A and B are shown apart, each in its own frame.
Chain A
Amino acid sequence: MEKVGDYDELVNLKATELRLGLPGTEEETVPCGKSNKRALPDDTEKEIESTGKTETASPPKAQIVGWPPVRSYRKNSIQTKKNESEGQGNYVKVSMDGAPYLRKIDLTVYKKYPELMKSLENMFKFSVGEYSEREGYKGSDFVPTYEDKDGDWMLVGDVPWEMFVSSCKRLRIMKGSEVKGLGCGV
């Protein structure tokens, strides 16, 4: 790699050079092979599973401020539209009691409940127990619930899949004592 000093042959920059240091002292020009690019924030990332898409996906990348360079005005317009229109993915937040941070999954990649359950189980490393209409989820400490458009917390699985996808605002995997009120029979 060329050293910074090479171009001195063409132009005498020393005369106009600004350097840090007292006038009259000579400094070795340090070859600027100084380390390299700043790592992207949180480059070394997580061993976490994919976001639930059926194809293999790389771990979610950390967001960089101001990148890609799209104006907020435009980003906001697109965001609202994405959330509204069909076939464009319906991302909902998923929280699990006791887990330190939330995940997001795209409900539109699943066709029915078992697929969704399996993905959640993989994501958070738990088992959900067996579902029955009468008794809810049996055989596990964990119960998947969701908040619907009316703001009510419902048990996942009670309504037909399509209705669930269109009314689900977010998911919460409840655990332990809170679970009792949903008739899970534990």
Chain B
Amino acid sequence: MALRLPSKVLEHILSFIDSNEDRNSVSLVCKSWFETERKTRKRVFVGNCYAVSPAAVARRFPEMRSLTLKGKPHFADYNLVPDGWGGYACPWVDALAAKSPSLEEIRLKRMVVTDECLEKIAASFKDFKVLVLTSCEGFSTDGIAAIASTCRNLRVLELRECIVEDLGGDWLSYFPKTSTSLVSLDFSCLDSEVKISDLERLVSRSPNLKSLKLNPAVTLDGLVSILSRAPQLTELGTGSFAAELKPEAFSKLSKAFSNCKQLQSLSGLWDVLPEYLPALYSVCPGLISLNLSYATVRMPDLVELLRRCSKLQKLWVMDLIEDKGLEAVATYCKELRELRVFPSEPDLDATNIPVTEQGLVYVSKGCRKLESVLYFCVQFTNAALITIARKRPNLKCFRLCVIEPFAPDYKTNEPLDKGFKAIAEGCKDLRRLSVSGLLSDKAFKYIGKHAKKVRMLSIAFAGDSDLMLHHLLSGCESLKKLEIRDCPFGDTALLENAAKLETMRSLWMSSCFVSFGACKLLSQKMPRLNVEVIDEHPPKTRPESSPVERIYIYRTVAGPRMDTPEFVWTLHKNPEIGVSRLAIK
């Protein structure tokens, strides 16, 4: 009796399954399910571009329309990964140009993208629609011009916090006069001025434009003109918000905003003068997302703005908001889901950080839906952490950065172990956690014991011994990404939990005490891990027991990569060959 589901039926069922986690599970059921699933997957996500080869991905998913790729490890954001480490988009684009010509969407994060690569994308994918580059580098505005001019059906072009060689604002004029398909454009990270008339014309002929993020070179006048042509925008990133204070400028701005009745998300606001903030009041009641993290505006002005934002779900702001401002947020922004408070003085020297643990406590108490927190402050207390955990067991992401390394609970002088225990224990759905302050191995015992759903963990200046690492690797069942810096563990816990590393995407360790010998051993014993030693000094010239500066370990089915620079040592699997740098120039 044939009990197998006919593949047509299975295909139909799978058409309702979008989540890649679910599809991954489906593909493990049996061979025929694997086959049906792979032939129907349209959106492919590769969390580590070195975990698998581009050819293998193209082969497995012939119907792929959208690819998301991530390159460098997260700590690259904080300058811990030297330039030239890797993460090149080119090999992917080359392979896909040949094997997946129907690709429509490419999203890259922390990758090196060249102009040639962008030109290849433009030339190879006939129906290309979406390009999103986040924290990427290596290209110039010429590459962007190529995309703009060639991709006839381009809908989305977003450059998010990229480092771009800015050769001028001409790229904007490369959008053909006939292009009307734009839905989202983000050029906020570019420096050069674009011709405002080009922008006006582009906006006027793009009736589907919903999201527009301008760069700081766009003036208030320019903004007013753009807004009048695109009142349908739902997301807006302003340009520079400073200008001479003329009364007619203010009223024009105010009117322009009040015509944008569908605006839900607001960002940019560089150089915002507090006198211009009232121009935004008309859109506040409809705002769901507000990014004020580049606005050096003082607390009273912030409160005046925020108390009108009753629907706000996402708020990014600088610590200039002060505890008092956060108290106001707790009172007025009852729908808040995500809060990020950035330091206005990101220095160790900073003496005057105007938010304390109290600010976060206010928001935790007042905002019942709060589930994601990123908070920078100078010091914290266990009591505050315990309160936060008690009030907000629904937290999914908790990233606390106590700027002072090794700072204890400043009221009791104890480590913050108890506080993070409460977080790990109380917030059962916690998926992402960053810890800071003075922490002993105990803190990690609690995290290992309770934080069963944590997938990403970031740790700095914490712990006492190998126990800390052992607790995490043996306890955190869902752990996928672990990044640790400046912690005092050595080889033992790493080697004893080697098997765990194959269940994770990656492990980053820098300024710890892991020895070169341990890296070699790990690499030899675990064929499906790439163990990369990132060190300016050749490891061969030092004793095997000496600690190595940075180690990046990740699982892969693609073997050691071929594009390592001089300072990256990929330990060869064959112990006879020893250490080599497999580099093909």
Q: List B contacts of A72 (CB < 8 A).
A: 77, 79
Contact A57–B521 (Cβ < 8 Å): no
Main secondary structure on A side of the interface with B: loop
Binds A, one of B6-14, B245-253, B343-351: B343-351
CA–CA, A97 to B564, complex, Å?
46
Q: List A contacts of B486 (CB < 8 A).
A: 37-38
> Which A residues from 16 to 35 make CB contacts under 8 A with B?
16-20, 29-30, 32-35
Contact B79–A13 (Cβ < 8 Å): no
> Which A residues from 44 to 103 make CB contacts under 8 A with B?
57, 60-75, 77-78, 81-82, 84-85, 88
Q: List A contacts of B458 (CB < 8 A).
A: 69
Known: A64-B348, A69-B401. A32 touches B466 (CB 8 A): yes
Interface string of B502-524 (1 = CB under 8 A from A): 00000000010100011001100
Q: List A contacts of B491 (CB < 8 A).
A: 20
- Chain A CB within 8 A of B495 CB: yes
Contact A73–B189 (Cβ < 8 Å): yes
- Chain A CB within 8 A of B498 CB: yes
**Interface residue tally of chain B, by bracket?**
35 or more
Contact A18–B75 (Cβ < 8 Å): no
CA–CA, A22 to B346, complex, Å?
49
Contact A18–B467 (Cβ < 8 Å): no
Contact B77–A71 (Cβ < 8 Å): yes
Q: List B contacts of A82 (CB < 8 A).
A: 296, 344-345
CA–CA, A16 to B78, complex, Å?
36
Contact A67–B405 (Cβ < 8 Å): yes
CA–CA, A25 to B257, complex, Å?
76
Contact A66–B406 (Cβ < 8 Å): no
Contact A73–B161 (Cβ < 8 Å): yes
- Chain A CB within 8 A of B173 CB: no
- Chain B CB within 8 A of A163 CB: no
Q: List B contacts of A62 (CB < 8 A).
A: 348
Q: List A contacts of B270 (CB < 8 A).
A: 77, 81
Contact B517–A20 (Cβ < 8 Å): yes
- Chain B CB within 8 A of A4 CB: yes
A47 shortest CB reach to chain B, Å:
17
- Chain B CB within 8 A of A177 CB: no
- Chain A CB within 8 A of B294 CB: yes
Q: List A contacts of B496 (CB < 8 A).
A: 13, 16-18
Interface string of A104-121 (1 = CB under 8 A from B): 000000000000000000
Interface string of B467-491 (1 = CB under 8 A from A): 1001000100000000001111111
Q: List B contacts of A88 (CB < 8 A).
A: 296
In the complex formed, the residue of A with least CB distance to B495 is A18
Contact A70–B351 (Cβ < 8 Å): no
CA–CA, A36 to B463, complex, Å?
9
- Say which residue of A1, A4, A78 sits within 8 Å of B492 (CB atoms): A4
Main secondary structure on B side of the interface with A: loop
Contact B470–A69 (Cβ < 8 Å): no
- Chain A CB within 8 A of B198 CB: no
In the complex formed, the residue of B with least CB distance to A10 is B474
- Chain B CB within 8 A of A9 CB: no
Contact B488–A35 (Cβ < 8 Å): yes
In the complex formed, the residue of B with least CB distance to A14 is B496
CA–CA, A174 to B406, complex, Å?
41
CA–CA, A61 to B522, complex, Å?
37
- Chain A CB within 8 A of B271 CB: yes
In the complex formed, the residue of A with least CB distance to B78 is A66
Contact B490–A32 (Cβ < 8 Å): yes
Q: List A contacts of B464 (CB < 8 A).
A: 1, 33, 36
Q: List A contacts of B461 (CB < 8 A).
A: 37
- Say which residue of B77, B163, B189, B522 sits within 8 Å of A69 (CB atoms): B77
Contact B499–A16 (Cβ < 8 Å): yes
A111 shortest CB reach to chain B, Å:
19
A22 shortest CB reach to chain B, Å:
12
Contact B467–A74 (Cβ < 8 Å): no
Contact B78–A70 (Cβ < 8 Å): yes
In the complex formed, the residue of B with least CB distance to A70 is B346
CA–CA, A36 to B342, complex, Å?
30
- Chain A CB within 8 A of B127 CB: no
Q: List B contacts of A73 (CB < 8 A).
A: 135, 161, 163, 189
Contact A18–B296 (Cβ < 8 Å): no
Contact A32–B489 (Cβ < 8 Å): yes
- Say which residue of B78, B346, B467 sits within 8 Å of A2 (CB atoms): B467
Q: List A contacts of B77 (CB < 8 A).
A: 69, 71-72
Q: List A contacts of B470 (CB < 8 A).
A: 4, 7
CA–CA, A70 to B344, complex, Å?
10
B520 shortest CB reach to chain A, Å:
9
- Chain A CB within 8 A of B465 CB: yes
- Say which residue of A11, A20, A34, A81 sits within 8 Å of B518 (CB atoms): A20
Q: List B contacts of A84 (CB < 8 A).
A: 271
> Which B residues from 202 to 255 make CB contacts under 8 A with A?
none
Contact B495–A75 (Cβ < 8 Å): no
A46 shortest CB reach to chain B, Å:
13
Contact B376–A68 (Cβ < 8 Å): yes
> Which of B293, B467, B496, B517 has most A Cβ within 10 Å?
B496
CA–CA, A85 to B345, complex, Å?
14
Q: List B contacts of A65 (CB < 8 A).
A: 78-80
B312 shortest CB reach to chain A, Å:
21
Contact B401–A71 (Cβ < 8 Å): no
Contact B293–A17 (Cβ < 8 Å): no
Ranked nearest first, the 9 interchain pairs of A and B with the lowest CB-CB distance are: A66-B78, A18-B495, A32-B465, A70-B346, A61-B348, A32-B466, A68-B403, A73-B161, A66-B80
Q: Please, could you name 12 A-B residue pairs with CB atoms under 8 Å apart, sorted by A?
A: A1-B441, A17-B495, A18-B495, A18-B525, A19-B495, A20-B495, A32-B466, A66-B485, A67-B403, A74-B294, A75-B346, A84-B271
